Chain A
C-alpha cells in the first residue's frame, strides 16, 4: 500500500472494496454502491465511488492492520471532498493500493525514513492508539498478574475458611 501525500482518497483493490461494502455492517450503511472507471463515468468495474445514502456509519467503520506492529489503525470513510462518496475507493487494474493524506493527518505525525537499507515509515499515534498497543503488548504480563492475584485471593479465602471452622492447626 503506497503511502501517498498526493492522494486525497484511499484506494484498495476492487475485489477487496466490493467485499467490504457488500458485507455487514457496511452493506447496511452504504447503499447503491456503484463503480466508476474515472471521475466522470459510472460503470461496474475499476475505480469506484460509493454513494453514501445513510450518513450514520459506525465509528470507526474500518481499521487497518499493517505487517509490523499489531495495531488497528482507524480509517475514516468520510468524503474528503464533502460529496456523497466515501474516502475509500477501488484501484484501477494495475495500480497500487494507496493510503492518502486523510489517514496521515489523523495521526500526530508520520516519518518517512530513507536510511539506506532500513527504509521504513513511522506513524506517530495518538494517545488512544499507543495505549491500545501498549495493552496488546503487555497482555501476557497482565494475565500473569491476574492469575497471581486470583490465586492468592482464592488461597486466602480457603485458609480463612479453614481457620474459621477451627480445622486449621
Chain B
C-alpha cells in the first residue's frame, strides 16, 4: 500500500507539549501474553513522546542491526535510511550488501506522505526482529527523502522531519514501521504465531509504557473490543463510528467510514 497518509514528515509544526519519555519492559507480564522467554532477545524499548510519536526498536538484517522506528498503524511500509542518503545526518543507517539475508525485490520503491514528502529507494525482503519474534518482511531502504515547503520548493532531507522525535534532545528515529492491517510486517508476525500488538500507556502515572506482541488476545482483561470493518483490498485498522455526542446532544453518523468525494 503506497497511498498518502496522515503523518507529516516535513511540516512546520513546533511541538510544545510536555514530554513523557519512558521505556518499556518486554514482554508485558499480563494475562494472555505468553512470552517465549523472560528476557527478550531483541528488546522493544517503547518510547512515547506525546502527542504522537511511539518509538520502538527493531533489529534488521543479519547480523541484526538496531533501528529506532516510529510505529505507525496507518501505513504499511517499513523503511529505514540508507547509508547513501544525503545530506548526511547522524544515526543508524542500513547497508543491504552488508546483510547476508537481504534479498532485493524492487530496484525502485517509493512512498508518499500527506505533506507531499516522498521517500524513495530500493526494497527487499529482510529479517526483522522485535522482542522474541523474527519475521521476513519487506523493507524499504530510503536513498532519498524529499519534502516540499510552503512555497512549493522541494528540498532533500537526511532525516525525517516534522515530528517531535529528534528535536530538543529527544531520541531521533531511523525510519518508520508501518503496521497497517495489510502490511508485510503484520503478515510476518501472523506467520510467526503472533496475534496482536498491545500498547500500554501510562502518561502521567507511575510505571512504564509498554509494547508487547501477543500470542493470544482472548485472555486480555478490561478490554472493550471493536470489530475491524475495512476494505479487504486495502485493509487498515478501521472501526465504525456510530455517533458523536456534544454536550447533551448527539449526531448519528450516517456517512460510513469513508468521506464522500466532493
Contacts and interface: CB of A to CB of B under 8 A. Distances in A.
Contacts of B155: none
A5 B163 CA distance: 13
B52 A63 contact: no
Given A16-B255, A80-B17, A93 B190 contact: no
B206 interface: no
A21 to B, nearest CB: 9
B120 to A, nearest CB: 19
B251 interface: yes
B88 interface: no
Given A13-B260, A96-B236, A104-B199, A5 B224 contact: no
Contacts of A11: 6
Contact of B239 (A19, A63, A66, A116): A66
B110 interface: no
Nearest to B17: A82
Chain B CB count within 10 A is highest, among A65, A71, A72, A102, for A65
B244 interface: yes
A156 interface: no
Interface stretch (B65-73, B78-86, B96-104, B136-144): B65-73
Contacts, number: 251
Interface in A42-88: 45-46, 58, 61-69, 71-72, 80-83
A151 interface: no
Contacts of B237: 2-4, 112, 121
B16 A123 contact: no
A84 to B, nearest CB: 12
B246 A101 contact: no
A108 interface: yes
Contacts of B135: none
Contacts of A115: 195-196, 217
B245 interface: yes
Contact of B246 (A4, A45, A61): A61
B222 A1 contact: no
Interface in A95-120: 95-98, 100-102, 104-116, 119-120
A68 B257 contact: no
Interface string A119-142: 111111100001001000000000
Given A1-B257, A8-B51, A16-B255, 7 more contacts: A3-B73, A23-B249, A62-B245, A65-B244, A107-B201, A111-B198, A112-B179
5 contacts: A19-B251, A23-B249, A24-B249, A64-B241, A124-B223
